[in-house]
């Protein structure tokens, strides 16, 4: 059973990683701003509700790195570095809150989104100190949230519906105790 779950987690991770590359590519190719609709965030957040914490964390770390290396979007430094921590936190928190603490999907989603933004602010603070990047943590977070309102609304509507449908209408067994 453990081997089957491991293979299942690898397959789901691979699929979500592929979506995390394809969806932003489509947005950028179409001229749609990624910082407004946050297309890379959606597969990672979904991963938090379908994968155990270590897989969800790894998905959140790899998605912005591979995107940056393949497409140049986001720029590797500093944005992809910030997103590694932000999206890694999204995946990890969503998984822990949903599977370990058994919080409802919407609550786990909101808390993981808040946690990811807080971590992004801390990373901006650290990068500003050690690398003198011209970003201010609070301004960065407020700007990211303000610009990303359409994407945040899409996430709050789409992700709970998708997770409900996946859990209810598939044979995927989701329990990581």
Higher pLDDT, 174 or 139: 139
Closest-CA residue to 109 (of 166, 154, 63): 154
- Distance, in Å, from the CA atom of 77 to the CA atom of 115, rounded to the nearest integer, reads 21
- Distance, in Å, from the CA atom of 41 to the CA atom of 150, rounded to the nearest integer, reads 13
Please state the domain extents for the chain.
Answer: 2-24+39-169
pTM value is: 0.93
Longest dimension (CA), the chain: 50
Q: For position 168, what pLDDT does the model report?
A: 87
**Tokens describing residue 127:** 């990068």
**CATH number of this structure's domain 2-24+39-169, picked from the four choices 1.10.1760, 1.20.58, 1.10.3470, 1.25.40:** 1.10.1760
- Distance, in Å, from the CA atom of 11 to the CA atom of 55, rounded to the nearest integer, reads 11
Higher pLDDT, 104 or 176: 104
pLDDT average, residue stretch 54-74: 97
Which residues lie below 8 Å from residue 125, measured CB to CB, with a gap of 6+?
Answer: 137
pLDDT average, residue stretch 145-153: 96
Write out pLDDT tens, residues 3-36. 788 999 999 999 999 999 999 999 988 888 888 9
Q: In this structure, what DSSP letter does residue 22 have?
A: H
Band (95; pLDDT cuts 50, 70, 90): very high
Share of the chain above pLDDT 70, in %: 95
Write out pLDDT tens, residues 35-58. 899 999 999 999 999 999 999 999
Instruction: Please tell me whether residue 130 adopts helix, strand or coil conformation.
Output: helix
């Amino acid at each position: 059973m453990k081997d089957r779950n491991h293979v299942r987690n690898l397959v789901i991770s691979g699929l979500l990683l592929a979506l995390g590359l394809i969806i932003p590519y489509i947005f950028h190719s179409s001229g749609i701003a990624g910082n407004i609709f946050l297309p890379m965030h959606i597969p990672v957040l979904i991963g938090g509700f379908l994968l155990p914490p270590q897989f969800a964390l790894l998905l959140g770390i790899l998605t912005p790195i591979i995107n940056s290396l393949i497409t140049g979007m986001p720029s590797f430094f500093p944005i992809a570095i910030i997103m590694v921590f932000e999206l890694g936190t999204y995946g990890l928190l969503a998984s822990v809150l949903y599977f370990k603490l058994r919080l409802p999907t919407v609550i786990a989603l909101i808390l993981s989104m808040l946690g990811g933004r807080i971590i992004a602010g801390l990373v901006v603070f650290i990068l500003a100190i050690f690398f003198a990047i011209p970003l201010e943590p609070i301004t960065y977070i407020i700007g990211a949230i303000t610009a990303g309102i359409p994407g945040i609304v899409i996430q709050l509507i789409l992700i709970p519906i998708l997770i409900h449908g996946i859990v209810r209408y598939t044979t995927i067994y989701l329990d990581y105790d």
